[in-house]
Homo-oligomer: A and B are copies of this chain.
Amino acid sequence: MSVMVREAPSDQNDQGLRVNDFNINVATVNGSGSQTSNNVLLRSLFKMGIPVTGKNLFPSNIQGLPTWYNVRVSKDGYLARRDGIEVVVCMNPATVAEDMQDCAPNGIILYDDALPIAARRKDITYFPMPVKELVKGADIAFALRDYVANMVYVGYLTYLLDIEIDEIKAALTWNFGGKQKPIEINFDMVMRGYNSAKETVENTQPYRVTRMTGYNEDKILVDGNSAAGLGALFNGVNLVSWYPITPSSSVADAINEYAPKLRLDPETGKATYAIVQAEDELAAIGMVIGASWAGARAMTATSGPGISLMAEFVGLAYFAEIPAVVWDIQRMGPSTGLPTRTSQGDILSTYYLSHGDTRHVLLFPATPAECFEFAGTAFDLAERLQTPVFVLSDLDLGMNLWISDKFDYPEKPMDRGKVLSEADLKELSGSWGRYLDVDGDGIANRTLPGNPHKMASYFTRGTGHNEYAAYSERSEDWEHNLERLSRKFETARTLVPAPIIDAKPGAKVGIISLGSNDPAIVEARDRLRSAGIESSYLRLRALPIGQQVRDFIASEEYDQVFVVENNYDGQLYRILVSTEPGFAHKMISVAKCDGMSLSARFVNDSILAHRQ
């Protein structure tokens, strides 16, 4: 996305209509099946070729509390969260008052006519929906009624906004995997809503959608966690040990779902992978470390609290130099925080995770396609560098559906790193050093348990050791080892994914951001440009930073470099400043953390404030 869309946002309307450029907010109760209706809505708009995003704002509970689904349609292809709601759908008595207040001037409000309605606003058009009546009308099992009720607003929206009915039907079919019965029941309810609207409403309101081309063609609609799971399966994952935690669980769920289709041995029908639900996060990371030590590709997926619990074990993997891949689908911390809200608040604690002198490799995917790609990159790096690699995604990227490029099939062979086989050892006539830096990159050779060579074995420990893995308390051995580890960290700088840089000639403003902030940056830059401020943009994809990032920060061209992130303390900013102290004076932290993904407006306004 960051490269495709470059026109300024437009609120213009041709003949009074506002086409493909507004927000819909659907307010329902969680556990009431509204997810299906919302997905159908999103998918049909997507299939109409319209740039669209859907963000699910759900409570940390299972059933009965308010949930909102925010859909943005943007002919300009802006996929960031946008403030302001033009089309409001009210299905929840508990929040109907607030929900109606949130409606933008000249917006429209659809509501279940059973809801208590607060004072009406002059500028707003109201569309009551006879939900109960329509549901009664259909003959469906009582148990199902609540669930299908939400299809009514889909029908109303379909009529009012001109959504293509065939796409609705197609989306339903997709959603129910072709199962006729539910498809019919739900589509019938959509049509009842549609017809009721048609009969009772004269559609003078301005909001419309219409088919577009040039944007969604061979794109897919997918969430980041499914992409991560698929990426792991296509990159040889052998063990997934995990402990359930929102918003990371769907990574393991995706693997659970796809693995039997993708990773059973055709001849024997036996598994080339294992999924183990651990008793907690300490055990999950312990299993990852044990398996990686033995040569498997092992990963775990967790969120903030899990990262904290893994701190001691991660230090062991770092110091004993054992690969490990950890996905952190960030949610709002500190502590249990807001399990169903997004944040990028684990950057600092993960970068420096564990006591003693430790620094870790962090990857920052920005799109589902990148989640898929980095699943492989993480394994390659972990095995190449023999160290834990963290992939920091977040709830917004991980759990929401995104328009994404199709995933590229991994062309590069898997990099299993410096592992000495029996043959290699024969060649070396058995003499090698587990922590001996033979070629200066700070990375030593390792052997795997089970290697039949007599000299293959070595002893792994988290205590001081010399180049031959013998226990040592000698100062020289210790320092020597730490020197090599930082040499290895320098090597890491050259191996991690390079940043994506969009440098504009004459730009005086540099912007550095990461991950799911990308759409907001893209849109903000367009706004800044129309305000006469050209900017260059570096999307950081990993820590530690490499030369390109240093050059960008150091560049004479930029008098200010804004570091934009979704947390309170400006965590990435702190790391960049302490890594490049020479340029600290020109770096400016732009950070916010309220549980929502960043909006273009916030980015734009924050930067403008510094350019007056």
Contact = CB atoms under 8 A, between A and B. Distances in A.
A593 B334 contact: no
A355 B345 contact: yes
Interface string A31-67: 0000000000000000000000000000110000000
A491 B587 CA distance: 26
A581 interface: yes
Contacts of A318: 334-335
B345 A319 contact: no
Interface of A: 59-60, 304-305, 307-309, 311-312, 315-316, 318-320, 332-341, 343, 345-346, 348-350, 352-359, 461-464, 473, 475-476, 478-479, 482, 486, 567-569, 571, 573-575, 577-578, 581-582, 584-585, 587, 593-596
The 4 closest A-B pairs by CB, nearest first: A333-B356, A335-B462, A304-B355, A334-B356
25 contacts: A60-B473, A309-B312, A311-B349, A315-B335, A316-B336, A320-B335, A332-B478, A333-B354, A337-B464, A338-B473, A343-B356, A345-B355, A346-B356, A349-B352, A352-B352, A357-B569, A357-B593, A475-B594, A476-B594, A482-B568, A573-B578, A575-B578, A577-B577, A577-B581, A582-B584
A386 to B, nearest CB: 14
Contacts of A320: 335
A335 B359 contact: no
A333 B359 CA distance: 12
Nearest to A588: B581
Given A333-B356, A346-B356, A482-B593, 17 more contacts: A59-B473, A305-B355, A309-B312, A318-B334, A319-B334, A319-B335, A320-B335, A334-B356, A335-B354, A336-B463, A337-B464, A339-B463, A340-B473, A341-B473, A346-B355, A478-B594, A573-B578
Contact of A578 (B319, B335, B578): B578
A243 to B, nearest CB: 13
A115 B355 CA distance: 41
A243 B338 CA distance: 31
Nearest to A334: B356
A301 to B, nearest CB: 15
Given A311-B309, A478-B595, A461 B336 contact: yes
A341 to B, nearest CB: 7
Count this chain's copies in the assembly: 2
A311 B356 CA distance: 14
Contacts of A568: 357, 482, 486
Contacts of A332: 356, 464, 478
A356 B340 contact: no
A341 B308 CA distance: 26
A358 B568 CA distance: 9
A358 B352 contact: no
A578 B573 CA distance: 8
B585 A581 contact: yes
A281 to B, nearest CB: 9
Contacts of A464: 332, 337-338, 341
B354 A308 contact: yes
A574 B582 contact: no
A225 B332 CA distance: 38
Contacts of A357: 333-334, 345, 567-569, 571, 593
Nearest to A65: B473
Contacts of A461: 336
Contact of A358 (B305, B319, B334, B594): B334
A32 B411 CA distance: 63
A242 B233 CA distance: 43
Contact of A582 (B316, B340, B585): B585
Contacts of A574: 578
Nearest to A57: B473
B355 A307 contact: yes
A171 to B, nearest CB: 29
A577 B584 contact: yes
A337 B473 contact: no
B571 A475 contact: no
